[in-house]
Amino acid sequence: QVARRVPRQAKFLQRLETRPRMSEFNVKSTIISRYAFTTVICTMVNSGSEAREAVFEMQIPAPAFISNFTMIIGNKTYYGEVTGKEKKHSSDDKARHKKPPNSTEGRENGYETFKASVFIPRKMQAKFLLHYEELLQRRLGKYEYTVSIRPQQLVGRLRVEVNILEKSGIVSLEVPPLRNSKNKGNGKVEGDVSPPPSTVIGHTKTLAKVTFNPSVVEQTRIARNGILGDFIIRYDVNRELSVGDVQILNGYFVHYFAPTDLPPLPKNVVFVLDSSASMVGTKLKQTKEALFTILQDLRPEDHFNIIGFSNRIKVWQQDRLVPVTPNNIRDAKKYIHNMSPTGGTNINGALQTGAKLLNDYIAQNDIDARSVSLIIFLTDGRPTVGETQSLKILSNTKDAIRDKFCLFTIGIGNDVDHKLLERMALENCGMTRHFQEDEDAASHLKGFYDEIGTPLLSDIRVDYPEDNVEQVTQNFFPNYFNGSEIIIAGKLINRTSDSLHVEVTASNSKKYILLKKDVAIDLPSTNDISGIPGLEDGKGDTNYIERAWSYLTIKELLNSRLKSDDSQEKDYLMEKAKSMALTYNFVTPFTVLKMREAGVHSEPAPEEFIRPSTDGIGEKLQSLQGHKAPPGMR
């Protein structure tokens, strides 16, 4: 035996072939009335002479629920079955040759990473099919649908196709340039104009089709490492004034309410800003920059004050809110400009001070009864001074606010206690946002303020006849902000009724508003989506309105559980959310995907799993409900 020397070049080639090559990355999405079904199909090829590990990784929007996952490895098929999470995870059911998919692999700026890793036998391929669903939220007057395109390598066949169907009519459809992780946020990027290369946009009044199909050369121009960024579609719909848009299908309804052309309500706003030592540098600089712009945008009828906090709490104007005048704005900017980062973080004390200030102002002044009061709270850290127990801070804050106004929380950087900020906002009718510490923080902060800067209605209540509907989602909303949307869904009790009575009551700056309407319950045909090109539904049982209702209901149960301190109530809410998630095949915090091999023990017929041909996949809207594997993939 003579030892042969392996040429260097061969060693290099061996190293090169260690990772399977992605031959296809295909995203097919259908959005019907703001409810989006997304299917991701990814094929990886192992052309090497031994088994290699392949990792399929997909960032999905944090609000979305995964509804199916299938892997075809060589000639074996594994399908994901949504099951309830046991109290303690048993590890004995993990298949030996792969890790189970992990859908909570870290959150980054509004995304969660879904990850599955498998070993592909030599000279074989693996195909991954992931489905997820989400209800698009309207922000700043647009719905935004985003697909993360980060295959980590150049791909021979890369295609994204999005079909949108909006019965009320699609307006102002736009596809901005790809967004990479640096400039995630409100999308207001300088020079934000032309769509990514190879994008084709076609639309009629109610249907739109957008495709993105870059060649390898075009991919290289965007990013050689295969991390292209987020493909974004923004659009809005035509709106009837009056009670909004009520859509009904097979015993379920969804109601979208987003009035425009109303005069803004006056605001009483207290900005509570962290100026502790950790805010030094970019964070404080960006916060100041954002506030200069925000102060400039306050309206003449608004009142405001500013609190800076570290271990000490400094109130700009003692015991009052001041009107918006050029002099007050100038002095406020000066005050913010002079804030310097020092000391620890007394979150509890700052919120107590802000809440007392606003409560006293509301109690002692003859304020406009229809004005909207809010605290905007910004921090980059965890409580280190004063009360540091999260639960105590939460209860103190709730006691101080007493449902009199809303609290909006902003976390900046990586040391923030997300859970605390999220729960604080939820318990006090606000919203929360988290931003990275980077050069775009100021525009993100400004974008968030823009979402809440123009309240148009307060105390909105939407009612339907009690004997006609059941299991209705939240129907009282403290505020409606310009550019957002109120969504309510429920079940009809009387399916034979030919109309649904809707009443909306609210106040706006001039008057108390009452809107009433009897909405005709159409024959199934008008809301039926079958027969529309590209949107036919193979199995005919995907009721997008029912799924939107289940999606909203589960989200509300999760929020109620987050707010609850009673362990019995928490368990009840968890069980309720879990059983609904199992019915609709959603992966939630209480349900998991277990991979099963399609073989002797599985229910589906083996032919469900014959390897799908790549053309025409997803031509049908997936009937995801209760299926073990995506249908229509023969």
Give residue 16's pLDDT: 55
pLDDT at position 187? 42
Provide the domain count of the chain. 3
pLDDT of res. 387: 95
pLDDT at position 522 is 66
Residue 175 lies in a domain: no
Whether 302 and 425 map to the same domain: the answer is: yes
Residues 314 and 409 in one domain: yes
| Angle, CA of 63, 158 and 595, to the nearest 5° | 55
CA–CA dist 378, 310 (Å, integer):
12
| Structure-token pair, residue 627 | 């299926």
CATH classification of the domain holding 316: 3.40.50.410
Phi, psi of 563 (to 5 degrees): -80, -20
| In a shared domain, residues 509 and 362 | no
Output the pLDDT for position 181: 59
Report pLDDT for 437. Answer: 83
Query: In the listed set 437, 453, 469, which residue is the last one of a domain according to the structure?
Result: 453
Q: CATH number for the domain including 483?
A: 2.60.40
Distance between terminal CA atoms of the chain?
A: 53
Return the pLDDT at 365: 77
Statement to judge: residues 314 and 360 lie in one domain: yes
pLDDT at 612: 28
pLDDT recorded at residue 33: 94
354 class by beta-carbon count within 10 Å (0-12 exposed, 13-18 middle, 19+ buried)? buried
pLDDT of residue 92: 36
Q: 3-state class of 230 per DSSP?
A: strand
Question: Would you say 246 and 255 are in contact if contact means Cβ atoms under 8 Å apart?
Answer: yes
Q: Is residue 508 part of a domain?
A: yes
> Parallel, antiparallel, or unpaired: how do β-strands 455-463 and 476-481 relate?
antiparallel
List of long-range contacts for 83-91, beta carbons under 8 Å, 24+ apart: 83/582, 83/591, 83/592, 83/594, 84/578, 84/582, 84/590, 84/591, 84/592, 85/578, 85/589, 85/590, 85/591, 85/592
Specify the long-range contacts of residues 326-329, CB closer than 8 Å, at least 24 apart: 329/295, 329/296, 329/298
In terms of domains, do 357 and 399 share one? yes
Beta bridge partners of 102: 115
pLDDT score recorded for residue 14:
55
Cα distance between residue 352 and residue 230, in whole Å: 40
Positions of the chain with pLDDT under 70: 1-17, 87-109, 181-192, 439, 509-510, 522-541, 599-634
Residue 477: which domain range?
A: 240-261+459-528
The pLDDT score that the predictor gives to residue 609 is 31
One domain for residues 321 and 405: yes
Q: Is 515 helix (H, G, I), strand (E, B) or coil?
A: strand
Structure tokens belonging to residue 557: 């149960």
Written in H, E and C, the secondary structure of 47-60 is CCCCCEEEEEEEEE
Strand partners, 160: 27, 212
Tens-digit pLDDT profile for residues 206-239: 999 999 999 999 999 988 888 889 999 999 999 8
Average pLDDT over the chain, rounded to whole?
84
Any residues with CB less than 8 A from the CB of 131 and at least 6 apart, and which?
37, 38, 39, 40, 66, 67, 68, 69, 622, 624, 630
Q: What pLDDT does residue 26 have?
A: 97
* Phi, then psi, of 258 in degrees rounded to 5: -150, 75
3 state DSSP class of 546: helix
Asked if residue 332 belongs to a domain, the reply is yes
**255/297 same-domain check:** no
The reply to whether 449 and 516 lie within a common domain is no
Q: Do 277 and 307 have their domain in common? A: yes
What confidence score (pLDDT) does residue 294 get? 95
**pLDDT score, position 260:** 85
CA nearest to 238, candidates 332, 164, 335, 171: 171
Kindly state whether residues 400 and 506 are assigned to the same domain.
Answer: no
Query: Is the Cβ–Cβ distance between 228 and 219 less than 8 Å?
Result: yes
For 6, 88, 319, 451, 520, the CA distances from 311, given in Å and listed in that order, are 66, 41, 20, 30, 59
Cα dist from 395 to 310, 428, 475, 533, whole Å: 21, 11, 25, 54
Q: What is the maximum alpha-carbon separation in the chain? A: 100
3-state secondary structure of 12: helix
